[in-house]
Structure 1
Amino acid sequence: MTRNLVPDELWDRIAPPLPARPARRHRHPGRLPVPDRVALAGIIYVLRKGVAWRDVPSTVVGCSGVTAWRRLRDWTESGVWPRLHAALLGELRRADLLDMDDCAVDGSHIRALKRGDHVGPLPVDRARPGSKHHLIVDRHGTPLAITLTGGNRHDVTQLLPLLDAIPSIRGMRGRPRRKPRRLYADRGYDFDKYRRLLWERGIKPLIARRGEAHGSGLGKVRWVVERTFAWLHQFKRLRIRYERRADIHQGLLQLACSIICLRRLRAAF
């Protein structure tokens, strides 16, 4: 079951950035710690199935849900997930599977069942508490960066933070890539102020304008971000926010983005 949840391709990439575990005591060492790969299997089990941490079947996964959550907390605080995502993006660029010339950006609302950071009234769900995922992808739908805010935050407020969240993507000779050449967005980003800010960064804004008829042709490129949201929501834990801590939910988002990147690499093998 562990190898099914954590294939060798994923484990070989996630093992290097994991923090080293403290040395065991010589006297009274206690129980052996759960292997990292088994704990990762528990995390991915919750990410895919959407079950509560207490309902993780230890006889199937190999560890309890509490152990998996604690390891997720430690790895999130150590910054494991951003490093894993950046490494996979570098591999995609090295394999010529990353096209950052044309990128698309969008947001998606989710309901939050518990209070916590980055929770606000959803304007599309009768002001129920919720959060919002903000995502930027390349031309093929590969997730480049994702952020989490309250459900009442406007999409355009996360436009520049999303661009800043794109890591330095290596994989080829020369300078690493950190920004697209053209950025596609829907009418929610139709503000001249942000068009000017994008031009100042050397990015050409291709944003639909409010009040104009549909058929501008931008959807031929922009649709990939909607498909990536569909990929993310295949991970049932991301459809509804159960985590009270925003950094834990952000860690699960980045892990899901890494798995999507790995799928693109495996398809190219």
Structure 2
Amino acid sequence: MAMNLVPDELWDRIAPLLPVRPTRWHRHPGRRPVPDRAALAGIVYVLRKGVAWRDVPREVVGCSGVTAWRRLRDWTEAGVWLRLHAALLTELRRAVLLDLDDCAVDGSHVRALKGGNHVGPSPVDRARPGSKHHLIVDRHGTPLSVTLTGGNRHDVTQLVPLLDAVPPVRGRQGSPRTKPRRLYADRGYDFDKYRRLLWKRGIKPMIAHRGVAHGSGLGRVRWVVERSFAWLHQFKRLRIRYEHRADLHQRLVQLACCIICLRRPSKGRHRTSPIEGETSQ
């Protein structure tokens, strides 16, 4: 089961990024630590199944939910997920599977049951506590960066932080790419201030205008961000925010983005799902 949750292609990329645990030189060092691959399997199990950490089946995964949560905390503080995401984007660009010329941005609400940072009254859920996932994707829907805010934050406030969070994407000759050429967004981003900010960064804003009838044609490019949210929310743990710590929830979202990026090459060849790798009909 652990091998199915953490396939070799994922483990081979993340293993070099994990921090090395210090060697204990005591005469009685105690119980041997759980292997990192088993702990990662526990994290992926929670991410996909949406179960509580205490309900992780040790006999199936190979570690307890508490151990998996602790490794998630430690690896989050070590910046493992950010480096993994940047490495996968570099691989995709090297394989000419990443189109950074046209990108799309949007936000999605999720309910937050346990409070914590980046939680606010959601305007689309009767003011219940909620959070927002903000996502920027390339032309094919590949996640480039993700941020987390309270449910009452306007989407446009995360436009610049999302662009700043895109890692330098290498993989081709020349300088690393850090920004798109054109950015597509819906009417919620229609503010002159942010249009000027995009132009100043050398990005052409392709933003729908408020008060104008539908039919601008921008949806032919912008729809991929909605599909990417659908991919993310196939991971059941991301449909509702259970983590009190905002950084842990955001890194779970980023791990899901990494899995989508990892499935991107096989998806292009065999039309497989970015979540489970099942062939589409």
TM over 0.5: yes
Match of 1:56 in 2: 56
Q: CA separation in 2, counterparts of 1:233 and 1:268?
A: 21
Correspondences of 1:111-122 after superposition (within 5 Å): 111-122=111-122
Match of 2:169 in 1: 169
Deviates most, 77-86 or 25-34? 25-34
Match of 1:35 in 2: 35
Q: CA separation in 2, counterparts of 1:266 and 1:44?
A: 20
For residue 165 of structure 2, what is the amino acid of its counterpart? A
CA deviation after TM superposition for structure 1 residue 265, in Å: 2.6
CA deviation after TM superposition for structure 1 residue 267, in Å: 3.5
Match of 1:138 in 2: 138
Match of 1:68 in 2: 68
Correspondences of 1:237-252 after superposition (within 5 Å): 237-252=237-252
Q: CA separation in 2, counterparts of 1:265 and 1:140?
A: 11
Match of 1:223 in 2: 223
Q: Deviations over 1:182-218 (max 9, x none)?
A: 0000000000110011000000000001110000000
For residue 28 of structure 1, what is the amino acid of its counterpart? H
Q: CA separation in 2, counterparts of 1:108 and 1:119?
A: 13
Match of 2:276 in 1: none
For residue 24 of structure 1, what is the amino acid of its counterpart? R
CA deviation after TM superposition for structure 1 residue 38, in Å: 0.3
Secondary structure of 1:16 counterpart: helix
Match of 1:109 in 2: 109
1:88 aligns with 2:78: no
Instruction: Give the ranges of 4+ consecutive aligned residues of structure 1 lying more than 2 Å apart after TM superposition.
Output: 265-269
CA deviation after TM superposition for structure 1 residue 115, in Å: 1.2
Deviates most, 26-35 or 133-142? 26-35
CA deviation after TM superposition for structure 1 residue 24, in Å: 2.3
RMSD, matched Cα:
0.8
Q: CA separation in 2, counterparts of 1:268 and 1:26?
A: 51
Match of 2:266 in 1: 266
Q: CA separation in 2, counterparts of 1:268 and 1:24?
A: 46
Q: Deviations over 1:128-175 (max 9, x none)?
A: 000000000000000000000000000000000000000000011110
Q: CA separation in 2, counterparts of 1:4 and 1:265?
A: 19
> Tell me, which stretches of 5 or more residues in structure 2 are unaligned?
270-281
Identity, % of aligned positions: 83
Match of 1:21 in 2: 21
Match of 2:208 in 1: 208
For residue 80 of structure 1, what is the amino acid of its counterpart? V
CA deviation after TM superposition for structure 1 residue 29, in Å: 1.0
CA deviation after TM superposition for structure 1 residue 266, in Å: 3.3
Q: How many residues align?
A: 269
Q: CA separation in 2, counterparts of 1:172 and 1:11?
A: 24
Q: TM-score, normalised by structure 2?
A: 0.95
For residue 151 of structure 1, what is the amino acid of its counterpart? G
Match of 1:4 in 2: 4
Q: CA separation in 1, counterparts of 2:32 and 2:249?
A: 28
Q: Deviations over 1:15-49 (max 9, x none)?
A: 01100011022411100100000000000000000
CA deviation after TM superposition for structure 1 residue 176, in Å: 0.2
For residue 48 of structure 1, what is the amino acid of its counterpart? R
Match of 2:193 in 1: 193
Deviates most, 22-31 or 67-76? 22-31
Match of 2:275 in 1: none
CA deviation after TM superposition for structure 1 residue 81, in Å: 0.2
Q: CA separation in 2, counterparts of 1:228 and 1:113?
A: 24
For residue 81 of structure 2, what is the amino acid of its counterpart? W
Q: TM-score, normalised by structure 1?
A: 0.99
Q: CA separation in 2, counterparts of 1:25 and 1:117?
A: 39
CA deviation after TM superposition for structure 1 residue 268, in Å: 5.2
